[in-house]
Each structure stands twice: as structure tokens, then as C-alpha cells.
Amino acid sequence: MADITNILTHLDDEDRARFTQAVSAIGKAFEAHTSVAVDPESITGLRAVRDHVLTGGAVELDLAAAIEELEQAPEISNKLIAARVKVAELNKITSDTANMSRQQRMNYAREMGLDKPRPDTTSAMTRNEHDAVLAQLSPIQRMNYARRHGLV
């Protein structure tokens, strides 16, 4: 079947709005269901979107079928697997450290290599920019900030 984006140029404004709304709704529903964000380009080719838009809304948007179809796409299924692995790792760390003292948790973190800066907190800030932020914080906040950003 032809790409829906090419067909949209020949449809009216209501159909284009319906298309945009359908892609948005599927993206939000998929992220709520799986906690993985999906590129809208991946959603545009789904059968549920085509059916809903080309029928002028007569066919209801089938979110369940769209989510299932997205989960089967190779590039998205790899993201899902990575997200599930990350959740499993976090759950293991949480269960392992649940009944530990503060010192035991610190030792556990060091042994497991968890005392390094996290990739989601590394930034493009220079050391001088970090120092300017540190100067505005209380001593406890400075220590937390420095640890979080790998400055100590």
C-alpha cells in the first residue's frame, strides 16, 4: 500500500487533523503502556492509522492493535528489551539493598561499579560551570551534586 503521508496531500484538512491526532494518541498510549517513547515516523505506517484516516474516522482507532503492531517492529522491540533489562537491573539492585545499612549499601555500590557518574546525569558543562553551581549550594547539597556529576 502507498505511504499514508503521500495520500494525505490529496485529503482534506479534517483527515490530516485525524491523522495527526491518531499518531499522537498511539504514541502516548504506547509510551504509557511500555514506558518507551516511539518516533512518530514509526507510527505513520501502522494499519490502524491508515484504516482510521482513510475511512474518514468511520473505523475507530484501534489502540490495542496499534500497540501490538508497534511491539512487533524490530527497532522498537529492541528498545522494549533494553527497557525491560534496565527495569530488571534496577529491581535487582533495590531487592539486594533493601535490608542493608548505609555502609553496606555504599560498599555494594562500589563493588558493583554503581558509584560512577550515571550517563543520564553527565552533561556538557565545563568544570567552571559546575564550580559556579557548587558555590551557590549548601555543603550537603554540594556533596550530593558533586557525587551525582562525578566531580569527586
CA distance 76 to 79: 5
Residue 96 lies in a domain: no
* Rg from Cα positions in the chain: 23
Q: What is the dihedral of CA 64, 69, 73, 75, to 10 degrees?
A: -30
pLDDT computed for residue 95 by the predictor? 93
CA distance 74 to 76: 5
Same domain as 121, residue 66: no
Residue 121 lies in a domain: yes
Q: How far, in whole angstroms, is CA 92 from its chain's centroid? A: 21
The number of distinct structural domains making up the chain is 2
What are the residues whose beta carbons fall under 8 Å from the beta carbon of 112, sequence distance 6 or more? 93
Residue 35 lies in a domain: yes
Global pTM value: 0.61
pLDDT computed for residue 119 by the predictor? 66
pLDDT tens per residue across span 123-151: 677 888 888 989 999 999 999 888 887 78
Residue 130 lies in a domain: yes
pLDDT computed for residue 147 by the predictor? 83
CA distance 45 to 37: 16
Residue 135 lies in a domain: yes
Residue 139 lies in a domain: yes
Residue 53 lies in a domain: yes
Residue 149 lies in a domain: yes
Q: Ramachandran region of residue 138, left (φ > 0), alpha (ψ -120 to 50) or beta? A: beta
The boundaries of the domain holding residue 125 are 117-152
> pLDDT in tens for each of the 152 residues of the chain?
446 777 888 888 898 899 999 999 999 999 998 888 888 888 888 899 989 988 888 889 989 999 999 988 888 888 889 888 988 999 999 999 999 999 999 999 889 888 776 666 556 778 888 889 899 999 999 998 888 877 87
CA distance 136 to 48: 52
What are the residues whose beta carbons fall under 8 Å from the beta carbon of 24, sequence distance 6 or more? 40
